[in-house]
Amino acid sequence: MTTEDYKVLAPKIPTVPGVYRFIDDNDIVIYVGKAKNLKNRLSSYFGQKKHQRYKTKTLVKNANRFEYTVVETEQDALLLENTLIKKLQPRYNVMLKDGKTYTYIVVKKERFPRVFFTRRVWKDGSQYFGPYTSKYRARILLDIIKKLFKLRTCNLQLSQKNIEAGKFKVCLEYHIKNCLGPCVGFEDEEAYNEKIKQVKNILKGQVKPVKDYLKSQISQAAEKLEFELAQEFKEKLEALDNYQSKSTVVNTSIVDSDVFYIRSEEDMAYVSYLKIVNGALVNSDNVELKKNLNDNEEDLLAFSINYLREKFNSIAPEVILQSEIQLVDDVKVTVPQRGDKKHLLDLAEKNLKYYILQKRKDEATKVKKQTSAERILNTLKSDLEMDELPFHIECFDNSNIQGTNPVSSCVVFKNAKPSKKDYRKFNIKTVVGPDDFASMKEVVTRRYTRLKNENADLPQLVIIDGGKGQLNAAYEILRDLQLEDKITLIGIAKRLEEIYFPGDPIPLYINKKSESLKLIQQLRNEAHRFAITFHRDQRSKNALGTELTNIPGIGTKTAETLLKTFGSVKKIKGLNKVDIEQVVGKSIAIKLVNYFEAQSQEEE
């Protein structure tokens, strides 16, 4: 994937947290990454490549495209990244491949449940909360729970046999400071279960019931005049402000589920899909459907559910939707109004929103990539306020020295490049002396009278190398030929690179670094070069005419052959007849020798 490819896609990428995936030519995910800001993170792969590591350069080179999934928070992005790396094992991901899992807090299913850390989720009926991307933050949460509620920490399996054997003494000896001894009846089982209920509320992020519970404990302690205990409960209440809520991307309380969200428009319908396995978001996709006249939203959604479940080999027993529909398969349909499942439905809606936005931007920019020539011509069109793209441009320049051998040139650029086969040279025929205005009138008249008579393609832009005088002279001819509305005419003055329009005394100044001005300068310089070259050729021919071509029997071609062979007239004068006749023959050699001998005698 190239930087140019990315520049086309960049405006469509959202600036929200998410997970991105680089995919190669074989549709294999080769890298999974997370981002707090998707657009900024992806742009880092296509910026200053000389500062990138070799692995990053290789990754971008081997990537054919990328995809992304938006999430609510950066923590959610980290969790989804972890899930996808473990599932897909991408080639360029080094970390997170070792099967390491994040921390959970478990409320064990047992009499007088314990609450502790774990990295394994077992199907044992216990309740698992998390995962927590930072064990430090999870430890703070567990410390808060321990501070609020004294809970059992020992692993003693309670039974009548163990109690009779006196094993409860171990508990009394080592753990009585951490709990109130529910195992041996020092704490009522109902009161202990009430504390476990509040622990679960905290772990679910439901702080209000816990606050209500602590407030009731404060009131009861105050009524009993136990003010120190009331202050302790008050401090516990304040500690809840530091609570960190769990992730909405991974939640072990949710069974395997498929989440679908549909959005219907006039001609199209779009469906977002999230695949939840063991409480983790492992896949996402979006599909678009072309609507027929009789299609309704329910039928389209039912079709999409069957299609996507088959595509991703899903056998999830539950489907989470935004509204109730009838499905053929024996699956449970859930329409959540709040809670974790509603969060997942909202996430599907958010992903669909960005997918539709991307599609619309694609349609708005559904044109082939601009070439450098198209970019330059579009800039030129904008700078000169033209109505059409100047694909065909012609530029004129005059050349003479004190009025001698006056000539003009016309160079032609097509698609911002020289079209040398279309270049034209003009000998000035009707002008005597150094008159650039009259010379410009003559060549413009000859050029466009011919194009008009032959119904040939006219240029969109004509450039005159010169000031306002030559520009106005050219404009008079275009007006006489009734071409002034079909051709944009400008003049460029050399000193300050000013652009003039006919009849407008105020010049246009184009940014000196602009590509459009550089194109105009290139045309002007090429016209000047071509005119100077033609002028020099004419001067050389005329110079020949005063010497060799004045000799009876010697024409222009013979003179050119002699000069190309011997270099100059002076050298030819010093040659003998034998040397000359080897180049032009005996008769011409005799004429030359006789001429130069006669000339020498006259000089003496």
Q: Residue 489's pLDDT is what? A: 93
CATH code, residues 257-364? 3.30.70
Rounded alpha-carbon distances, angstroms, from residue 129 to 11, 74, 104, 280, 314: 38, 19, 6, 13, 25
pLDDT tens, 454-477?
988 899 999 998 778 889 999 999
Distance separating alpha carbons of residues 313 and 304, to the nearest angstrom: 14
**111 has pLDDT over 80:** yes
Closest CA to 261 of 360, 347, 327, 358: 347
* DSSP conformation letters of 203-246: HHT-HHHHHHHHHHHHHHHHHTT-HHHHHHHHHHHHHGGG--PP
**250 has pLDDT over 80:** no
8 Å CB contact between 428 and 441: no
8 Å CB contact between 294 and 280: no
Q: Residue 460's pLDDT is what? A: 94
**391 has pLDDT over 90:** yes
Sequence ranges of the domains in the chain: 3-88, 103-205, 257-364, 374-540, 546-603
Q: Which of 136-140, 233-237, 318-322, 431-435 has the lowest mean pLDDT?
A: 136-140
CA 11 to chain centre: 6
**50 has pLDDT over 70:** no
Report whether CATH 3.30.420.340 matches the domain 374-540. Answer: yes
Q: Residue 475's pLDDT is what? A: 92
Distance separating alpha carbons of residues 378 and 398, to the nearest angstrom: 29
pLDDT tens, 495-514?
778 898 998 888 888 888 88
Closest CA to 461 of 421, 499, 440, 490: 490
Percent of the chain at pLDDT exceeding 70 = 81
**96 has pLDDT over 50:** no
**164 has pLDDT over 70:** no
Class of domain 546-603: mainly alpha
Q: Is the pTM of this model over 0.85?
A: no
Q: Which of 8-17, 205-214, 496-505 has the lowest mean pLDDT?
A: 205-214
What is the enclosing helix (H) or strand (E) of 202? Answer: helix 189-204
Specify the CATH superfamily of domain 3-88.
GIY-YIG endonuclease (3.40.1440.10)
User: Helices (H) and strands (E) in the chain — how many of each?
Assistant: 20, 18
pLDDT tens, 291-303?
765 667 887 888 8
